[in-house]
Every structure is written in C-alpha cells, then in structure tokens.
C-alpha cells in the first residue's frame, strides 16, 4: 500500500484520466459509491447523515455520497458552502446528477444559526468540504464552518482527509476538521503518519476508486506501508537442515558498568529473533549479570576505562571475525573510546554495522568514513537522536520525518530506522517503508535496545531492507499482542516484548 502527497495523488488522477482514459467523473462516482457503502455498512440506514460540501472535487465526492445514500433510502441533508456558480468540472457534473435525480440541497449560510438545533446526537456529519487541493491557510467561510462542526459532539466522517489538513505535510496553523473517522481515497496520505496531523484523522479506512496500480510507476517517490503481507511475503524460511552457522553470527557491543541491562535486552532479543550465534562484548564485571539473563549468548570481554568499554584494535579485529552483523551502542555511554571504536568498525568491518544510542553521537565526527563505507550501515535514531545528527529541533524532525530520513539515507548511503510511532525505514536509494504496529507501551527505556538486538539478528540472515522493516514490524506487533491481553499499556515492559516475540513471529510459521 502506497503513501502519497496531494500533488502525487493529483498527478496519478490526471494520468488515469488522460493516459488510461478513465474519466474523472467515473473516479468520482467510484469514490462516492465506495464511501457511501462504507457509511451504510458501518452506521446502517437508520442514522441521519448531514453532508457538508465545498467547491472542489472533494465536494463532488460529497454529492455522489449524498445521492447514493438517498437512493438507498437513508435520510440525508445536504448543505453547500460556496455560491452555486463556483462549481466546475466533475463536481459540477455530479451536482447536476444529484439534482436531476430529484434531490435537493440547501445553502449552509441559510441554516447556519439553526444547525446545532437540527441535529440529534446520533446524526453523522460527513465532511466533504476540502480535500487534497487546499493551498495555504483555510479561508473564510470554510474556517468558520469547520470551527462550528468541531464544536458539535456528533460523529464526524471525513472524505479523503479531514478538511483543512494538508495531505503531504504537518503544516497546520489553522482550523481543521477533527474527524472520528476518515475514509481516504485509494492510498493513505503522508500527513496521516505525522505526529501533529495524525490525531485529526481518527480511524482510517481506505476506499479504492479504480486507479490502475501500474500508474504508480510515474511517481518518483517510493513510500509504502510495511504490513503483515509484506513481512510474510519477504520472509526467507530457515532450511530444514540448517545449522547454527546458517542462522547468522551476530555481535552486540553493549553495556557499561552502570548499564548492563541494555546489553542483556539487546542480546536476549537477538537470541529470541533467531540468531544462530550471539556474542556480547562488554566489560568484565557485567558478564555474570548479563549471562544470568542471556544464557544462550557467548561473551567477549573488552578492555575498559572507568567502567566504560575501551577496546584495543586487536580486540575489535578478533570480535569482527566471522560476524555477519554487529550492533554497537546500547548502554555504552559517550566516551572518546567509543568514537574510536565506531570509526574502526566503520572502516574495517565488512558485515552489516548497526549504530544505535550512544554510538550515534560519534557519527557527526565519522561522516566521511560512513560515506566511503561499502558494506551496509544501519542507524536506529529516535527523533531526539535524529535531531542531534542534523542539527535541528525534535519538532522539526517530527514534522518532516519522511524528508529527514530520506535525505540522511541518501546523503550518507546508510539505512535509517527513524523510530517513534510509525517508524520509518529509509534506504540509501530513497525508498521508504512505514510501520503501522506498536503502541505507547513501547515508550519506555529499553524498548530501543530490544529493537537493536532484533535488527542485528534479522539482517544477519535476511535481505537487509525486508529484515529492517520486518524487525520493526515484529517489535511493534509483540507490543500490540500484549496490549490486547493486558489492556493497560503502562504495564508492558521491554522484557515482556522479548517474551512475546515467538507469538509475533508465528505469522511467518516455519512449518
Ligand atoms: N477527478 C479527480 O481529480 C478526483 C478527485 N477526487 C477528490 O477531489 C479532491 C481533490 O480535489 P480538488 O483538487 O478539486 O481540491 P479540493 O480539496 O476538493 O478543493 C479545492 C478547492 O478548495 C478551495 N480552496 C483551496 N484552498 C483553500 C483554502 N486554503 N481555504 C479555503 N478554500 C480553499 C478552492 O476553491 P475556490 O476557493 O477556488 O472556490 C479549490 O478549488 C480529493 O481530495 C478527492 O476527494 C476524487 O473524487 C477522485 C477523482
Ligand atoms: N507511542 C509509541 N508507539 C509506537 N512505538 C513507540 C512508541 N513510543 C516508542 N516506541 C518505540 O519504542 C522504541 C523506543 O526506542 P528508544 O527511544 O531508542 O528507547 P530506548 O533507547 O530507551 O530503549 C522505538 O522502537 C520506538 O519506535
Ligand atoms: K474532506
């Protein structure tokens, strides 16, 4: 499933009309019919529908929805916001079809003052005011109409996207509809995955409108959702006669004297995610503690300074030997020795190198070596770490997640796993996948360490992009399974996530 901006959607609409030959009015009929079907399935015919219609094609969809609902016997009232003369193109055509079917509309401005009194609590408001075509701040009279609708307690269903919300960005400093449900057309829009605009959408359902999938080849961008189907279809099963060497040799460099837990979580997650051999490199005094939690791992003791790792080049070279992947960072602390270690690994390690947590802070100094590295490099920043890497604020990162992840991946030739709700995986090629699993139960120290261990295990034996996206999927999916059992998200711990990985992984049953 693709994720598009308003401009991309308009260009695909135009290609469908002009090159494929499917008229816009047919797309609008498909859109309106699909939405009316969903409304009837969800709310039934007994509820009253109040449809509020704007001047563009989103309003045109509204006329089709109104006609189909009326044809089906539902009680529907239709209010238009602009002067009648403003309608043009497909919206004008469908307004005429609505009227010639014997149905009537009223001007919003004529009923504005009586509007709240006309509604029962059970009535549904359908928002067909503005769609992907808005530009700039919402102007009057739309701003006032949106404000009045938002004051009501009724259920609001938006067509395509909540009116006023931009499709491709989180730039929102004006009034926008706060929908309970959005029936989005054909593909989800970028703003649904951004922290600031997502809450406006409510629950989202996709309504196909008949655009042929091969029109997508005209889009330069490659953004898509990595869901259950993608995980299952890309998964490479272990061979029945596999030996442990086939399942990947994974190295985890983690844990300082004060933070042994990070190494235990990452190591344990790697083992549970199917790594054939997991070796944890840490300070000597941590080994008994960590080993009591991760019995299956092997241990390498690195030299240390004041309780922080400070390995020699010889120790690093020996550790790298034979490994398909190495993750470095969890619980290490920011020391000059860490920067040296990261620089050494970037230059000499030929497998997949995963940089997380404290190791990310070395990247600013190591930028040129990262660019020169030919083996794959993965970075797993949360928004704060990403902000540090690009010298921007966290709010900038959250508003521009797609652009930030994509441009860093392209500039440095790395795979960026930008964490947070709807974690993004950006490839050096510019291709982006978005995760839809996970919940606030993951917002706890240690969840990131678990993900790092999972990533290290999966990249050691699967192709890199599916491995990253699927690791993120399973991490969130385990949290979702737990949320269903526990209901209280606050009680979910990173250790619980590790315990629930077998249940999460069962969707790619090896039998
Ligand atoms: N055939 C197709 O293409 C299909 C498109 N489809 C549907 O069309 C939608 C996109 O349609 P669109 O491009 O007409 O834009 P849309 O959002 O309805 O309204 C734009 C109008 O709003 C106004 N306006 C603009 N900015 C404003 C502002 N800041 N503040 C206030 N008003 C503002 C401006 O009107 P004006 O002021 O010029 O009268 C402008 O003309 C899309 O979301 C989907 O629902 C589907 O039916 C499938 C087939
Ligand atoms: N509200 C949320 N919804 C979904 N996933 C979340 C949420 N909050 C945190 N996460 C996930 O939890 C993990 C937290 O990682 P991170 O911030 O690095 O934590 P830490 O380093 O403390 O272990 C990330 O994978 C992130 O995507
Ligand atoms: K809308």
Residues tagged in the binding site annotation for (6S)-NADPHX: 57-61, 131-137, 142, 160, 262, 331, 382, 449
Query: For position 171, what pLDDT does the model report?
Result: 87
> Does ligand 1 lie within 6 Å of residue 136's CB atom?
yes
Distance CA(314)–CA(301), nearest Å, equals 12
Domain locations along the chain: 3-220, 229-235+245-508
> Does ligand 2 lie within 6 Å of residue 330's CB atom?
no
Distance CA(455)–CA(449), nearest Å, equals 10
Distance CA(206)–CA(429), nearest Å, equals 28
> Does ligand 1 lie within 6 Å of residue 85's CB atom?
no
Is the CB of residue 261 less than 8 Å from the CB of residue 288? no
- Quote the tokens at residue 190: 């970028």
Is the CB of residue 134 less than 8 Å from the CB of residue 59? no
Closest C-alpha residue for ligand 2 atom 26: 420
- Residue 311, helix vs strand vs coil: coil
Give the single-character DSSP code of 2: B
Query: For position 389, what pLDDT does the model report?
Result: 97
> What residues sit around ligand 3, an ion, with C-beta below 5 angstroms?
58, 127, 158-159, 163
Query: For position 511, what pLDDT does the model report?
Result: 58
> Does ligand 2 lie within 6 Å of residue 490's CB atom?
no
> Does ligand 2 lie within 6 Å of residue 357's CB atom?
yes
For a substitution probing ligand 2, which of 386, 448, 474, 489 has the most ligand atoms within 8 Å of its CB?
Answer: 448
Query: For position 313, what pLDDT does the model report?
Result: 97
Cα–Cα nearest to 342, from 366, 322, 374: 366
> Does ligand 1 lie within 6 Å of residue 134's CB atom?
yes
Ligand nearest to the CA of 163: 3
Ligand nearest to the CA of 7: 1
> Does ligand 1 lie within 6 Å of residue 90's CB atom?
yes
CA of 133 to the centre of ligand 1 (A): 4
Give me the CATH topology for the region 229-235+245-508. Answer: 3.40.1190
Ordered per-residue pLDDT tens for the chain, 511 residues:
899 999 999 999 999 999 999 999 999 999 999 999 999 999 998 899 999 999 999 999 999 999 999 999 999 999 999 999 999 999 999 999 999 999 999 999 999 888 888 998 889 999 999 999 998 899 999 999 999 999 999 999 999 999 999 999 998 888 999 999 999 999 999 999 999 999 999 999 999 999 999 999 998 888 999 999 999 999 987 777 777 677 789 999 999 999 999 999 999 999 999 999 999 999 999 999 999 999 999 999 999 999 999 999 999 999 999 999 999 999 999 999 999 999 999 999 999 999 999 999 999 888 889 999 999 999 999 999 999 999 999 999 999 999 999 999 999 999 999 999 999 999 999 999 999 999 999 999 999 999 999 999 999 999 999 999 999 999 999 999 999 988 788 899 999 999 999 999 999 976 5
Residues tagged in the binding site annotation: 57-61, 127, 131-137, 142, 160, 163, 262, 331, 382, 419-423, 448-449
Distance CA(179)–CA(177), nearest Å, equals 6
Q: Are strands 415-418 and 424-426 parallel, antiparallel or unpaired?
A: antiparallel
Cα-based distances in Å from 149 to 115, 140, 163, 349, 428? 9, 14, 11, 59, 44
CA of 184 to the centre of ligand 3 (A): 9
- Helix axis angle for 363-372 and 401-412, nearest 10°, is 60
CA of 368 to the centre of ligand 1 (A): 46
Query: For position 122, what pLDDT does the model report?
Result: 86
Closest C-alpha residue for ligand 1 atom 46: 28
Query: For position 111, what pLDDT does the model report?
Result: 92
Please give the model's pTM, rounded to 2 decimal places: 0.93
Return the CA Rg of the chain. Answer: 26
> Does ligand 1 lie within 6 Å of residue 355's CB atom?
no
DSSP string of 193-211, one letter each residue:
GSTTTHHHH-EEEEE----
- Helix axis angle for 89-100 and 57-71, nearest 10°, is 20
CA of 384 to the centre of ligand 3 (A): 33
Query: For the domain bounded by 3-220, which CATH number is listed?
Result: 3.40.50.10260
């Amino acid at each position: 499933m693709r994720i598009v901006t308003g401009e991309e959607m308009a260009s695909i609409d135009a290609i469908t009309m002009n090159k494929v030959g499917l008229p816009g009015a047919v797309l609008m009929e498909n859109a309106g019919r699909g939405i009316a079907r969903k409304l009837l399935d969800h709310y039934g015919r007994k509820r009253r529908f109040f449809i509020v219609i704007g001047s563009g094609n989103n309003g045109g969809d509204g006329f089709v929805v109104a006609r189909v609902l009326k044809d089906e016997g539902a009680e529907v009232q239709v209010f238009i916001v602009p002067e009648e003369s403003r309608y043009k193109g497909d919206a004008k055509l469908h307004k005429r079809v609505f009227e010639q079917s014997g149905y009537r509309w009223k001007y919003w401005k004529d009923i504005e003052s009586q509007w709240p009194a006309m509604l029962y609590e059970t009535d549904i408001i359908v928002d067909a005011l503005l769609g992907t075509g808005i530009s700039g701040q919402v102007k009057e009279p739309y701003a006032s109409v949106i404000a009045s609708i938002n004051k009501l307690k009724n259920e609001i269903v938006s067509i395509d996207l909540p009116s006023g919300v931009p499709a491709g960005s989180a730039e929102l400093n004006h009034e926008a509809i706060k929908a309970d449900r959005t029936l989005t057309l054909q593909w989800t829009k970028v703003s649904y995955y951004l922290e600031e605009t997502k809450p406006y959408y409510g629950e989202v359902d996709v309504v196909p409108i008949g655009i042929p999938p091969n029109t997508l080849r005209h889009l330069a961008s490659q953004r898509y959702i990595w869901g259950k189907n993608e995980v299952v279809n890309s998964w490479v099963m272990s061979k029945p006669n596999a030996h442990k060497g086939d399942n990947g040799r994974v190295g985890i460099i983690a844990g300082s004297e004060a933070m042994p837990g990070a190494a235990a979580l990452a190591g344990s997650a790697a083992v549970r995610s199917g790594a054939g051999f997991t070796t944890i490199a840490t300070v000597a005094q941590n080994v008994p503690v960590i080993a009591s939690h991760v019995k299956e791992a092997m241990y390498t003791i690195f030299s240390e300074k004041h309780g922080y790792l400070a390995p020699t080049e010889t120790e690093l070279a020996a550790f790298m030997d034979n490994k398909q992947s190495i993750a470095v960072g969890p619980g290490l602390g920011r020391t000059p020795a860490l920067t040296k270690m990261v620089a050494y690994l970037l230059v000499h390690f030929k497998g997949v190198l995963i940089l997380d947590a404290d190791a990310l802070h070395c990247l600013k100094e190591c930028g040129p070596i990262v660019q020169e590295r030919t083996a794959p490099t993965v970075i797993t920043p949360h928004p704060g770490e990403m902000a540090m890497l690009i010298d921007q604020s966290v709010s900038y990162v959250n508003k521009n997640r797609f652009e930030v992840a994509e441009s860093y991946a392209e500039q440095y030739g790395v795979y960026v796993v930008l964490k947070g709700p709807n974690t993004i995986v950006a490839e050096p090629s510019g291709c982006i996948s978005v995760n839809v699993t996970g919940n606030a139960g993951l917002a706890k120290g240690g969840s990131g360490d678990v993900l790092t261990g999972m990533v290290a295990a999966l990249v050691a034996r699967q192709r890199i992009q599916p491995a990253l996206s699927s690791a993120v999927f399973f991490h969130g999916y385990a949290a979702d399974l737990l949320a269903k059992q526990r209901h209280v998200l606050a009680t979910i711990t990173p250790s619980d996530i590790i315990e629930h990985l077998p249940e999460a992984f069962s969707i790619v049953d090896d039998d």
